[in-house]
């Protein structure tokens, strides 16, 4: 099984950018935790962080035919603005889980709407860096269930 983890704009600044909102854990530390979960589950995992919308879209298109079974994505600010990213996710057969460190529904009004949520298999937000590990466990359970059906 292969999982793709996509980190959107500004997530490369985790640990430095607004730690009171996003926590003090770095993106590398989050990826290491996800890698440990994947290793324990016998799953391959790949990570990509980019500040460029088109790079995320291109990687999602690539996932359509490269053996990716499921995707975690934290689209960052693109969550609230990118119809193109939403459309790329909607085109996928694989389940996609939307992840956010903060509770986007308890923040500024413009963050309350997600273009991604309606086309995601699930959404996890508000648990800090644990949002990622909870989302990965949920995605793996979903994939295992669908493989048993």
Residue 112 maps to which CATH number?
Answer: 3.40.50.9100
Res 81: pLDDT:
93
Q: Catalogue the active-site residues.
A: 22, 100
Question: pTM surpassing 0.95?
Answer: no
Domain region containing 84:
2-148
Q: Count Cβ atoms within 10 A of the Cβ of residue 88 and give its class: 0-12 exposed, 13-18 middle, 19 or more buried.
A: buried
Q: Are 3 and 139 in contact (CB under 8 A)?
A: yes
Give the pLDDT confidence of 103-129 residue by residue, as tens digits. 888 777 877 789 999 999 999 999 999
* pLDDT over threshold 80, residue 5: yes
Question: Domain count of the chain?
Answer: 1
């Amino acid at each position: 099984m292969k999982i793709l983890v996509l980190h959107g704009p500004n997530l490369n600044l985790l640990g430095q950018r607004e730690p009171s909102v996003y926590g003090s854990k770095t993106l590398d530390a989050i990826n290491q935790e996800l890698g440990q979960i994947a290793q324990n589950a016998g799953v391959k995992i790949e990570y990509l962080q980019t500040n460029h919308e088109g790079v995320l879209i291109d990687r999602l298109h690539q996932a359509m035919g490269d053996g990716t079974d499921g995707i975690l994505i934290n689209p960052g600010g693109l969550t609230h603005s990118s119809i193109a990213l939403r459309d790329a996710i909607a085109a996928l057969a694989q389940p996609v889980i939307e992840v956010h460190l903060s509770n986007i529904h308890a923040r500024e009004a413009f963050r309350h709407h997600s273009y991604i949520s309606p086309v995601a298999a699930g959404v996890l937000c508000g648990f800090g860096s644990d949002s990622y590990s909870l989302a990965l466990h949920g995605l793996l359970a979903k994939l295992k269930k669908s493989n048993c059906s």
